[in-house]
Amino acid sequence: MPANIQKKQLFIASCMALLVTSLSFGIRAGVLGTMGTKFNLDAGQLATIAATAFWGFPLAVIIGGIVVDIIGMKKLLVAAFIFHLVGIILTVTATGYWSLFISTLCIGIANGTVEAACNPLVATLYPEDKTTKLNHFHLWFPGGIVIGTLLVYGLNNLLGDAYWVSQLEIGLMILPTILYGFLFSKLELPVTERVSSGVSSSEMYKALLNPLFLIMIILMFGTAITELFTGQWIDVLLKNVTDNAILLLTIETGVMVLGRAFAGPVVHKFSPAGVLLMSSVFAALGLYMLGHSTGNMLFVGALVFGIGVCYFWPTMLGFVSENLPKTGAVGMNLMGGAGMFAVSVYMIFMGGYYDRLLAGKLPTGANLQAYGATNATPEMLTALSNAKKAAGPEIINVTLIIPIILAVVFTGLFFYMKSIKTTTSLATANLSH
């Protein structure tokens, strides 16, 4: 590493950029309902708006992954700063569905650009401990969600849930955005690990066709949906089951912060494949509890679910970077892009499915938007509340299928990687003799 590269400062700046990314998830999860009420949006429209961030992300992360080796990480981070700033301002000044759609798209592009630059940056800064440091870096994603949800919860309790309060909460994201933009403007960034190691572009693209990489891409669909769809929608799905649904997200992400902070011993003891297997089991158990519990047991379910999804995202990236290093920044960013794209598609589909579930639980011929309108009668509002109370857990129970499948596949991956390690050890021993 060149002497002019300040590893610690770059890592701090990367964490600050990811903090803005996660604040956008945490705060938006908390104000999604208020936005829907303000502009009279149904669940399908809200799902489409929320999903925009998730498909803006893969668009940016995949394009960024392809060009990062060419233009460098610093230019990508400048672009991320601009999109974050524009997206926040447009959200604060939103006037309806389309302005929220465009602002969310800008923030999604900014979030993807941050990961397109910072994931390979962290891997380049810490080549001997990639999975652990990626977990340390990604703890700021749940960390920001904890900060964001607590901020929303506190300000809503103090000032009420009026729309102007939501605008204030979104606007506060400008402060860390300006800070990370300033930090990166003062620092020199290295070239990516693939460029510094001399791996050619043709070797990189050939590595992307490795069957193991293609399998990991498919598995990323499942891990991302399990973690991010549930986190982004937990307030909507369980708001009528508990009075503190947003605190479920706070508990879940709080566990993720602690888990990722102590990722080093866990990853070294169980291996990345072992960690992914255990994560899928805990995620399935947690979702089951969230979909079949009420009262305080919901918070236990959120705790278990947080343990489950804690290591998913950074360990998936670390696994690819360690076991398929020739895929480089493109490989890591394709993984991230695939995950977010899967979440966006799943979110749109489940938003429509949720609306259909609600309609099916209301009186025959009922208009869903009329039941949620500001002039709805108390009887209509009660009927809608009861419908939501029943429909939310049903969505969670459908999603439960995904981590169950992941647990089966990760079991196979664990034993496959173990066999490779055993074969490599035997070959090394024979050569030494």
Q: Report the sign of the C-alpha dihedral through residues 123, 126, 129, 134, in that order.
A: negative
pLDDT band at 75 (very low <50, low <70, confident <90, very high): very high
Length of the chain: 433
> Looking at residue 65, what is its pLDDT?
81
How many CB atoms are located within 10 Å of the residue 349 CB? 12
> Looking at residue 425, what is its pLDDT?
54
Instruction: Check pLDDT > 90 for residue 20.
Output: yes
Say which residues have a Cβ less than 8 Å from residue 205's Cβ, sequence separation at least 6. Answer: 330
Say which residues have a Cβ less than 8 Å from residue 208's Cβ, sequence separation at least 6. Answer: 327, 330, 331, 334
How many CB atoms are located within 10 Å of the residue 142 CB? 29
> Looking at residue 431, what is its pLDDT?
46
Contact 257, 139 (CB under 8 A): yes
Mean pLDDT of 277-286: 96
* pLDDT > 90 fraction of the chain, expressed in percent and rounded: 39
d(CA 41, CA 380): 17
- Choose the most confident range, by mean pLDDT, from 64-68, 249-253, 372-376: 64-68
d(CA 41, CA 228): 22
Question: Which tens digit of pLDDT belongs to each residue from 177-201?
Answer: 999 999 999 999 988 877 777 788 8
CATH architecture assignment, domain 7-192+203-421: Up-down Bundle (1.20)
Contact 60, 116 (CB under 8 A): yes
Mean pLDDT of 361-378: 80
Residue-range domain boundaries for the chain = 7-192+203-421
Say which residues have a Cβ less than 8 Å from residue 243's Cβ, sequence separation at least 6. Answer: none
Instruction: Check pLDDT > 70 for residue 240.
Output: no
Question: Which tens digit of pLDDT belongs to each residue from 313-367?
Answer: 999 999 998 899 889 888 998 998 899 889 888 988 888 888 888 888 888 878 7
Instruction: Check pLDDT > 90 for residue 281.
Output: yes
Say if pTM beats, i.e. exceeds, 0.75. Answer: yes
